[in-house]
Amino acid sequence: MKNLLLISATLALGLSSMSSYAGDGFFSSFFSLKRHNEVATVTNKDYLEECGSCHFAYQPGLLPEGSWQKLMDTKALEDHFGDNAELEEDVRTHILGVLVKASADKSYYKRSKKIMASLRDDKTPMRIIETPYIKKAHHEIPAKLIKDNPKVKSLSYCDKCHQMADKGNYDDDTVIIPGHGNWTW
């Protein structure tokens, strides 16, 4: 019995020390199971600065590569949903590479896989809220809580309700709708 306790304590200590390295590498995919349920966080400084200065820096795993290619096209950035979001070519190319590398079709995260499974092969959504998975996940929420709520206005403001969106966590447990508190589906 004493040996069994010693083995258990040693194993627990070993796993604990290994999981402390679970930032962005090998161990994170094995020791951080919650991470697999969501989407990869955005860590690229250029992306956070350039795109995050105007709106929430959406995780690349929320759209497939084709969508990011279209959104980051030079002409598309000239009229980016009504705004001019032009970038220097080297910055645009770098950010596009970041988005493509972690896009939903290349991700091992479950939510990214669900987004991809919801898309038809011939569709390339230009907005995250246009993906069938996101539409279905939000279809039961009354308009008064989103569109008619001046603190939210649209599903495109993910971080207004998903309190841990910046961490890539869109779990229902993290939802607090401004002006309405926690919402139970």
Q: Count structural domains, the chain.
A: 1
Query: Which pair of tokens denotes residue 48?
Result: 């956070």
Domain span holding position 57: 38-109
Query: How confident is the model at residue 58, as a pLDDT?
Result: 96
Of the candidates 8, 84, 9, 96, the residue with the CA atom closest to the CA atom of residue 47: 96
pTM of the complete model beyond 0.85? no
Would the pLDDT of 66 be above 90?
A: yes
- The pLDDT of 10-32, averaged and rounded, is 42
Contacts of 165 (CB under 8 A, 6+ apart): 56, 158, 159, 174
Is 98 within a domain? yes
Is 145 within a domain? no
Would the pLDDT of 10 be above 70?
A: no
Would the pLDDT of 114 be above 90?
A: yes
Would the pLDDT of 15 be above 90?
A: no
- The pLDDT of 79-104, averaged and rounded, is 96
Are 46 and 94 within 8 A, CB to CB? yes
Show the DSSP H helices in the chain as ranges: 2-19, 26-31, 33-37, 45-50, 65-71, 74-78, 89-101, 110-118, 132-138, 158-161
Would strands 181-182 and 176-177 be described as parallel, antiparallel, or unpaired? antiparallel
Is 14 within a domain? no
Is 130 within a domain? no
